[in-house]
Amino acid sequence: MSDLPKAIEICEKGPREGMQIEKGPISTARKIELIDALSDTGLQHIQTVSFVNPKRVPSMADADAVIAGITPRPGVNYSVLWLNDVGLERALKYRDRIEFREAFSLGASEPFSLRNQNRDTVANIAMQNSHLDILERNHIHMESALITAAFGCNFAGDIPIANVLATIEQAFELAAAHHFTLKRISLNDTMAWATPLTVKRMVAAVRDRWPSLRINLHFHNTRGLGVANFFAGLEMGVESYDSSVAGLGGCPFAGHRGASGNVCTEDLVFLCEELGIGTGVDLDRLIECALLAEEIVGHPLPGSVMKGGTLRRLREEVAKKNYSIA
């Protein structure tokens, strides 16, 4: 029916994007416990903390202690988020234990960048230039960028494909100015505007223009379309995705506080397992992490498979009981 990828890579965003929105307080020890548990699941990429202003994001005030406290597992890449030079300089202190996965971030929607970072497009490009200068001076190998609000924006509405292509063009120019080649672009549906159809159209347009540029997709499940959008990405052959264990991370822009955040990692891994797509992740261990995350935050999280159970387990039970099919 379709040629799905043989394997995908997942970047787990729960510890950073999830914990960031929790009112908490959540102790540093428990944050470390979750990251260390995730390190044992087979996930290859884990975003751990944001180096941001603790006055604006109090839940990330202990970011240094978290990074210093985790037990890095060989083969797992740990990344962090920064939004300005101060944050990047803080991150650089840990360059031996973190990867600088997305070297810079551009916005497909200027109203969102103004609202979220208080910077217009020109100011943001200047800021990214400054980050790239710092990274270059530190001989950090770079190859990846991300585009926020790539599918739509609560403050600008639908984002035309042409805007996203123009923004990727800017990313290529920024990379060239800093002597590296952009090899990977993350299209982030920051405010949950994507549908399976717009995912397919956007991926097709980016592929058509830059056939060898690797694409990463980042979905939020605020309106229930996260998994459908993920499957649309798979059908387009996209091999890299962001997600969040247990669906950690509410949406700060949604209508009410119970709204879901990032698409749920174990739900994606479950679907991949059913489709025969490799993820390298042990689903049972990941579900244990989801239950741990729920215990740590102290309220129900939106993941589905952590509640509904896997089909592999049911198949094993069926095989044991030797039921026959009618």
Length of the chain as a residue count: 326
Between 134 and 254, whose beta carbon lies closer to its own copies?
254
Structure tokens at 103: 């070297």
Between 224 and 278, whose beta carbon lies closer to its own copies?
224
- Residue range at the interface with its own copies (CB under 8 A); choices 31-39, 41-49, 179-187, 216-224: 216-224
Is residue 230 involved in binding its own copies (CB under 8 A)? yes
Between 87 and 107, whose beta carbon lies closer to its own copies?
107
Question: Which residues are catalytically annotated?
Answer: 251
Stretch 148-177 residues interacting with its own copies (CB under 8 A): 152-160, 163
Distance (Å, rounded) from C-alpha 268 to C-alpha 257?
24
- Contact criterion met (CB below 8 Å) for 77 and 39: no
CB of residue 309 to its own copies, shortest distance in Å: 3
Distance (Å, rounded) from C-alpha 41 to C-alpha 10?
12
CB of residue 199 to its own copies, shortest distance in Å: 10
Q: For its own copies, which residue of 121, 165, 213, 280 counts as binding (CB under 8 A)?
A: 121
Stretch 245-274 residues interacting with its own copies (CB under 8 A): 251, 254-256, 258-260, 264, 267, 270-271, 274
CB of residue 257 to its own copies, shortest distance in Å: 8
Distance (Å, rounded) from C-alpha 220 to C-alpha 120?
24
- Whose tokens are 């993941």? That residue is 303
Stretch 290-319 residues interacting with its own copies (CB under 8 A): 300, 302-305, 307-311, 314-315, 317-319
Q: In the chain, at which residue ranges do the beta strands (DSSP E only) sit? A: 9-12, 45-51, 77-82, 104-107, 144-148, 152-153, 157-158, 184-188, 214-218, 240-243
Is residue 196 involved in binding its own copies (CB under 8 A)? yes
Distance (Å, rounded) from C-alpha 297 to C-alpha 244?
14
